[in-house]
């Protein structure tokens, strides 16, 4: 089980596609992971303003992918290798 005490950040960024790609590589190689998603919209999380088009903001989501500290080296190696090849 991955907790706040034994996890290490493997990825942080704004691309859901990249986060999913990394997740597929880890799953294929049986490395447990968790994904945390943060909504960084300054107005209200998950909300797009419709009252004033000038201040409309798109929801901005940042993705964090964590693995267990003991699996970090292997996971990092797998990401440098194209599609999880060993």
What CATH number is given to the structural domain containing 31? Answer: 3.30.70.1370
Domain that holds residue 62: 7-44+58-80
Say if 73 falls within a structural domain.
yes
% residues pLDDT > 90 (the chain): 64
Q: Is 60 exceeded by the pLDDT of residue 55? A: no
Instruction: Write out pLDDT tens, residues 1-43.
Output: 899 999 999 999 999 999 999 999 999 999 999 999 998 776 6
Helix (H, G, I), strand (E, B) or coil at 11: strand
Q: Who wins on pLDDT, 73 or 45? A: 73
Q: How many domains does the chain have?
A: 1
pLDDT at 62: 93
Total-model pTM: 0.77
**Where are the extended beta strands (E) located within the chain?**
7-13, 33-39, 61-68
Residue 51: inside a domain: no
Q: Give the pLDDT confidence score for residue 60 in this predicted structure.
A: 81
Instruction: Give the mean pLDDT of the chain.
Output: 84
The region that residue 9 occupies, defined by phi over 0 for left and psi between -120 and 50 for alpha, beta otherwise, is beta
Tokens of 72: 């970090």
């Amino acid at each position: 089980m991955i907790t706040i005490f034994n996890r290490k950040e493997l990825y942080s960024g704004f691309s859901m596609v990249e986060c999913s790609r990394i997740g597929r590589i880890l799953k294929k190689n049986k490395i447990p992971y968790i994904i945390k998603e943060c909504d960084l919209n300054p107005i209200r999380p998950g909300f797009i303003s419709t009252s004033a088009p000038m201040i409309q903001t798109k929801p901005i989501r940042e993705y964090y992918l964590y693995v267990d500290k003991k699996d970090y080296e292997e996971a990092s190696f797998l990401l440098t290798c194209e599609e999880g090849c060993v």
